[in-house]
């Protein structure tokens, strides 16, 4: 999920960080805390994340509002959201917001446990995206696959 990130990545945003497992991995790659912004809905997780990751900006807000709170030019959006189980309109609002804040070469990284990409083909096309399918991670329980979306 965090492959390729480093101290020079610029601004990174995480959607649905929960307990902060991916947040830890992003920071371990050398992304400065000041360059990382989280969007989490759950009040308890937000309190936990603020305490655990000083210097990281944590918004208690839906990922779909990210473009109201952030300027464009973000390098990468890492998503821990259960995207496939969300209604189509919510999914579109979330990925749409991600691409309104991402820079021209920015990418949206999303894992899924399912056999198909975490966005259906018609939605990938209507959003003007292309997708890169990563290897299946068998060591994950359940096994998961990481997808990277970019502008077509
Ligand atoms: C599967 S959990 C993430 C697990 C996380 N990777 C961890 O290590 O704990 C998904 C998280 O997304 C949050 N969430 C769900 N819908 C959201 C939304 N629209 N915007 C932001 N966060 C959301 C949930 O509160 C939950 O914490």
Tokens of 84: 């496939």
Atom 20 (ligand 1): residue with closest C-alpha?
A: 62
Work out the pLDDT band at 134, boundaries 50, 70, 90: confident
Where exactly are the structural domains of the chain? 12-151
Atom 27 (ligand 1): residue with closest C-alpha?
A: 18
Q: How many CB atoms lie within 10 A of CB 58?
A: 23
42 CA distance to ligand 1 middle (Å): 8
pLDDT digits (tens, 9 = 90+) for 20-55: 999 999 999 999 999 999 999 999 999 999 999 999
The mean per-residue pLDDT over the stretch 8-13 comes to: 97
> CATH code for 12-151?
3.40.50.150
Question: 21: Cβ below 6 Å to ligand 1?
Answer: yes
Which atom of ligand 1 lies nearest, measured to the CA of 90? 19
Question: 92: Cβ below 6 Å to ligand 1?
Answer: no
Surface-to-core class of residue 151, CB atoms within 10 Å of its CB (0-12 exposed, 13-18 middle, 19+ buried): middle
pLDDT digits (tens, 9 = 90+) for 59-72: 999 999 999 999 99
CB 58 within 8 A of CB 40: yes
């Amino acid at each position: 999920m965090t492959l390729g990130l480093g101290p020079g990545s610029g601004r990174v945003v995480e959607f649905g960080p929960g307990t902060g497992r991916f947040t830890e991995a992003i920071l371990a790659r050398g992304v400065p805390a000041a360059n990382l912004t989280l969007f989490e809905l759950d009040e308890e997780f937000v309190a936990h994340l603020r305490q655990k990751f000083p210097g990281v900006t944590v918004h208690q807000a839906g990922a779909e509002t990210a473009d109201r709170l952030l300027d464009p030019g973000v390098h990468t959006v890492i998503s821990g959201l259960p995207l496939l189980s969300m209604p189509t309109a919510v999914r579109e609002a979330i990925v749409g917001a991600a691409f309104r804040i991402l820079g021209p070469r920015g990418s949206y990284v999303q894992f899924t446990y399912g056999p198909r990409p975490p966005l259906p083909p018609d939605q990938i096309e209507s959003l003007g995206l292309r997708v890169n399918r990563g290897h299946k991670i068998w060591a994950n329980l359940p096994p998961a696959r990481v997808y990277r979306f970019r502008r077509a």
